Amino acid sequence: MSGDIVGWLRRLAAMAGALLLGSTGAAHAAPAMWRVSDGDSQVYLFGTLHALKPSQAWRTPLYDAVLARAGTVWFEADLQSGDPDTIRLLVQRYGVDPDRPLSRKLAPSDLGALARQTDLARVDHLRPWAAALMLSMQPALAKGASVEKGADLTITRAARAESKQIRAFETLEDQARMFAGLPEASEVRYLADVVRERGRGPCLRLAFKPQSLEDAWLAGTLGPGQIEQMRAENPALYDAFLKRRNQAWADRLTAELAGSGVELVNVGAFHMLGPDGLPALLAARGFKVERVQ
């Protein structure tokens, strides 16, 4: 098994060019955060980037104040829980297809483009979704981004140092099963889209031209274009990756809001978007939702 994908479960949501977050209020020069309130309980929603440059400063006084107050800190999954052997087993169980390689699934033009972007022999045994995840991380990592320095693992370490209760919405196997459950046509479309986008180069559908996705995230000005494109062009991927997961997470948070105290949710910025994003889902359930950063 190629070492290139041993750590893929630690960066499932870090799809290059796909973390586009819509602004719900005035512009804020910081990554977006919302406060969800109900009586004596508050849940803060923070959209993360899973891979960042080591030198990038993104934590604000407000974020640190929320972290200090929070009794419970949430993440998509415990990204530090997967030892290499466990991850290899998950990849072998859900992410490979030795009997029907990629070279038999992709259209000839897409297969040729994939072969120009990576060593086909090293990825041909993968299922399309696993190859797409691996390929989508490469541009960010090539620019010096690090998963270890990403917001999720940075805050995991900080929360543990402060003895916070840490909870996760999913296990690593939950995430693997989610992708493995996609219809094959949706998987193939996902990989083909990643291959074609890499061939065109990164493109942010925004009115301005930031130097990078990271810059736009830091400014709190990411836009919703990629979500709409996914929903229109690959509805099965949109439903599995975003809609159903957000609905399940909103159910969990609704139960948390029935209690008291402060909780902080850190999940990929992808999950804050549009009518199926966490802020919109919780507002639709009657909670007070305000963008605070």
pLDDT in tens, 231-252: 999 999 999 999 999 999 999 9
3-state secondary structure of 7: coil
Residue-wise pLDDT tens digits, 249-286: 999 999 999 999 999 999 998 899 889 999 999 999 99
DSSP state, 96?
A: B
Q: How far apart are CA 113 and CA 93, in angstroms?
A: 27
In sign, the C-alpha dihedral spanning 7, 8, 13, 14 is positive
* Model pLDDT for residues 132-176, shown as the tens digit of each residue: 988 988 877 777 787 888 899 999 999 999 999 999 999 989 999
Residue 72: pLDDT over 80:
yes
Q: What burial letters (b/e) apply to 151-166, b meaning 16+ CB within 10 Å?
A: bbbbbbeebeeeebee
- The number of C-alpha atoms within 13 Å of 152 and in the hemisphere containing its C-beta is 25
CA 56 – CA 205 distance, rounded (Å): 23
Confidence at 208, pLDDT banded by 50, 70, 90: very low
